[in-house]
Chains A and B, each alone.
Chain A
Amino acid sequence: MAVPKRRTSRARQGNRRSHHHVTPPQVQYCPQCNEPVLPHGVCPNCGYYQGREAVPVKTEGK
């Protein structure tokens, strides 16, 4: 069975992992309340989408 000849050095390991980053989600900002919203999504804070479309939002607690 094939086995590594050399132990992976810390530098090599780090170089390999240099691309393992998380990309932040792309967000828009709600024109109604300035909260971050996902593109094409109803605002979770105020329930607005495309300038109207109030989806009733629970105000108490949540």
Chain B
Amino acid sequence: MRHRNAGRTLSRSASHRLALFRNLTRALVEHERITTTVPKAKELRPFVERIITIAKRGVASGDPIKTLHARRLVIARLGPVAKVELLDVKGEPTGKTLLKKIFDDLAIRYADRPGGYTRILKLHKRRLGDAGPTAIIELLKQGEVKAAKRSAAPATTAPTPRPEPKPESAATPPSESPEASASTNSPTGQEAAASEPKSNESQS
């Protein structure tokens, strides 16, 4: 049984792992986009997003006491790295601590986003040394929405329209006729486009 075995240990003790997540969080918030291994990126995602959600909740309440509470909860998760001053692209200090950026920038930026503040992109490049699979994890920019359906993209392996927006599922040519898959495709696309702004409105 794999009960209570969620998550990866990443070959680290609990304290080592926590330190790793804190360091990666600092790097991610500072640079907005970092390259790491796929398992680390996947483990980091819930850690970072939870912190942003706590900050968001604190800021959205408008209550200074609740905001302070949220700040303390985030500090409890981040530990010493919360007070690290972030550097800009040139390596100059920005005068902003990690905690400040999370509360002043990220909590505002993601105010209308119901979770999912990061994106993981798998890269082809393997790590030198252990050939570990690498990925980019990045913080979404303001107002990013789902990638548009790739209808205009030239079909390569499958000449027929692809049944799914995900390119990975498109290796096998769809068994349906082009008309059938196209007709099933377009309503779902309109539906997704219609439901997108609606869900945003209900959030704000």
Mark A residues whose CB is within 8 Å of B: 26, 28-32, 34, 37-42, 44, 49-53, 55
A interface: dominant SS: loop
Instruction: Tell me, in angstroms, the Cα distance from A55 to B125 when the chains sit together.
Output: 13
Contact A44 B125 (CB under 8 A): yes
Nearest chain A residue, comparing its CB with the CB of B157: A29
Contact A51 B125 (CB under 8 A): no
Contact A53 B170 (CB under 8 A): no
Q: Does B10 contact A (CB under 8 A)?
A: no
Nearest chain A residue, comparing its CB with the CB of B136: A55
Size category, B interface: 20 to 34
Interchain Cβ contacts under 8 Å between A and B, 24 examples: A28-B167, A29-B156, A29-B157, A30-B156, A31-B150, A31-B167, A34-B154, A34-B156, A37-B124, A39-B167, A39-B168, A41-B122, A41-B123, A42-B122, A42-B123, A42-B124, A42-B136, A50-B165, A51-B148, A51-B149, A51-B153, A52-B148, A53-B147, A55-B123
Contact B153 A31 (CB under 8 A): yes
Question: Given the interface contacts A38-B124, A42-B123, does A50 sit within 8 Å of B154 by beta carbon?
Answer: no
Nearest chain B residue, comparing its CB with the CB of A30: B156
Mark B residues whose CB is within 8 Å of A: 121-125, 136, 147-150, 153-157, 165-168, 170-171
Contact A52 B156 (CB under 8 A): no
Contact B168 A31 (CB under 8 A): no
Contact B168 A28 (CB under 8 A): yes
